[in-house]
A and B are shown apart, each in its own frame.
Chain A
Amino acid sequence: ETGVTQTPRHLVMGMTNKKSLKCEQHLGHNAMYWYKQSAKKPLELMFVYNFKEQTENNSVPSRFSPECPNSSHLFLHLHTLQPEDSALYLCASSQNGAGYYTDTQYFGPGTRLTVL
């Protein structure tokens, strides 16, 4: 595997389910990000992890719970979601740690989430 991978690619869940999204980066980067991409809205930054420590929570509801066990893996745990949470969830990583404002972010292909 190369770059940034995300699993699953598609997920359908009910409002009472608990599921997790997984992201893995094979680039040796030090920062990882979760974004939400909804139709007709700009990408929304959700969480930032810098050297495994969470440095940003962009007012995300607690039904989204991130976890970063090491610099290569990032999870997004989901529980009791709402239909309006249906979106494409993108993971990204960057080399030098979050806050390096010229760093390129490398994105995974995303998980298409549908909440019924």
Chain B
Amino acid sequence: AQSVTQLGSHVSVSEGALVLLRCNYSSSVPPYLFWYVQYPNQGLQLLLKYTSAATLVKGINDFEAEFKKSETSFHLTKPSAHMSDAAEYFCAVSVAGGTSYGKLTFGQGTILTVHP
């Protein structure tokens, strides 16, 4: 079965600083990886996804993530944080085989705080 680990349940950055949210996955078959964001009192919204094309994936709001198979990682970055980026971020994995075929498995989430 696949799993996702998000390192750091809380990350705090200054406005304008680099955002780095870490995600490592475990899977015995090739993974497909997603980052979702959840703003307060809202559902989850897709930021970006990796589906085995380019390893560097660009998403909405200047977020991007790089799939690194050797490191089993899919870290999310943004060059310059904005106050509106404050939210909870979830990394998720889906696989094309095994008993978990097509199911999304989520990490525990990382709450991003942006201070002025």
Contacts and interface: CB of A to CB of B under 8 A. Distances in A.
A105 interface: yes
B43 A56 contact: no
B15 to A, nearest CB: 27
B90 interface: yes
B18 interface: no
B51 A102 contact: yes
Contacts of B103: 45, 48, 56, 98
Which bucket holds chain B's interface residue count?
20 to 34
The prevalent SS among residues of A at the interface is: loop
A66 B45 CA distance: 24
B32 A101 contact: yes
Interface string A35-54: 00000111101001000000
A98 B90 contact: no
A107 B106 contact: no
Interface of A: 4, 6, 40-43, 45, 48, 56, 90, 92, 98-102, 104-110
7 contacts: A42-B108, A101-B94, A101-B96, A102-B94, A104-B49, A107-B36, A107-B43
Interface of B: 4, 32, 34, 36, 41-46, 49, 51, 90, 94-96, 101-109
